[in-house]
Amino acid sequence: MKQHLEPDHSGPTSVRIDALDPAFSPAASALAEQLGLPLSGEAGFSLQLGEQGLQLQELGPGAAGPVRVDFVEGALAHRRLQGGGAGQMIAKAVGIQPGVRPTVLDATAGLGRDAFVLAQLGCDVTLIERQALVAALLADGLRRAESDPEVAAIIERMHLRCGNAIEQMQSWSDEAPQVIYLDPMFPHRNKSSLVKKEMRVFRPLVGDDDDAPQLLQAALALATHRIVVKRPRKAPCIAGATPSYTLEGKSSRFDIYARKSLKGKA
């Protein structure tokens, strides 16, 4: 797993760094310097470093439990062991088929769950996350997973970058990805009880992806074969180009912008 982190200090909500044990104080101090965050004081969130790695804890009454990235256990482990393999809708959306495992750029990586599924299925995946705090959580999860013998090979296919995805796509110097995957944060709806814990925690920090049309435009200019956009099932398409076709599930859908057919490498 390769990482290239360039911190982006965007985000208006206050966050502090806390070591959950004195043994982690030096590492917490280094992280605070890297992210430009304080080690004390009033804050709405605490980025905590402890034996289980890095986690983000909302502070105050009624706060949900901490959010951390775990590729070894929990929901992703269940999906890895019991999931639908290449029959999953996301696999069909990116064009996985017998003999075809496209290179994928996940330009809105978040906590890396969809990228992990694609890497598990054999795709080489580059992840871009522009919010430095989210990228730090993701990098920590990738580092911890590297030492697990069952998932280490999957993590080797995941390569994390931190920074503005639009700018990185516009100045891309590596071999162009065959598929670009976008899952932009969509505008908030007043149904907080239906929103996942991670969404409730991260929305104050990252906001909505108001530049989704620019993301799509940059992706269309870079991807060689297709762009895949994950959307809530009833949400409108991203403004701009019209999807070639759509795959629809119960709560979400994939808008596919096809450029040319994916074929196995000779």
141 in a domain, yes or no?
yes
pLDDT value at residue 61? 86
Q: Which residues are annotated as a binding site for S-adenosyl-L-methionine?
A: 113-114, 129-130, 183
| Same structural domain, 186 and 243 | yes
Residues comprising the binding site?
A: 113-114, 129-130, 183
- Residue 264 covered by a domain: no
| Residue 214 within a domain | yes
The verdict on residue 85 lying in a domain is yes
My answer on whether 18 and 86 are in the same domain is: no
pLDDT band at 24 (very low <50, low <70, confident <90, very high): very high
3-class DSSP string for the chain: CEEECCCCCCCCCCEEEEECCHHHHHHHHHHHHHHCCCCCCCCCEEEEEECCEEEEEECCCCCCCCECCCCCCCHHHHHHHHCCHHHCHHHHHHCCECCECCCEEECCCCCCHHHHHHHHCCCCEEEEECCHHHHHHHHHHHHHHHCCCCCHHHHCCEEEEECCHHHHHHCCCCCCCCEEEECCCCCCCCCHHHCCHHHHHHHHHHCCCCCHHHHHHHHHHHCCCEEEEEEECCCCCCCCCCCCEEEECCCEEEEEEECCCCCCCC
Over pLDDT 90: what percentage of the chain? Answer: 66
| CATH code: domain of residue 18 | 3.40.1630
Position 155 confidence tier, pLDDT thresholds 50, 70, 90: very high
Average pLDDT over residues 124-130: 96
Report which of residues 71 and 202 the model is more confident about.
71
Q: Could you report the per-residue pLDDT of 233-244, keeping only the tens digit for each?
A: 899 999 999 999
- Residue-range definition of the domain harbouring residue 24: 10-58
Split into its structural domains, the chain has a count of: 2
Q: Is residue 69 part of a domain?
A: no
Q: Are residues 46 and 80 in the same domain?
A: no
Q: What is the pLDDT of residues 209-241, one digit of tens each?
A: 688 999 999 999 999 999 999 999 899 999 999
How does the average pLDDT of the chain come out, rounded? 86
28/131 same-domain check: no
User: Does residue 186 or residue 25 have the better pLDDT?
Assistant: 25
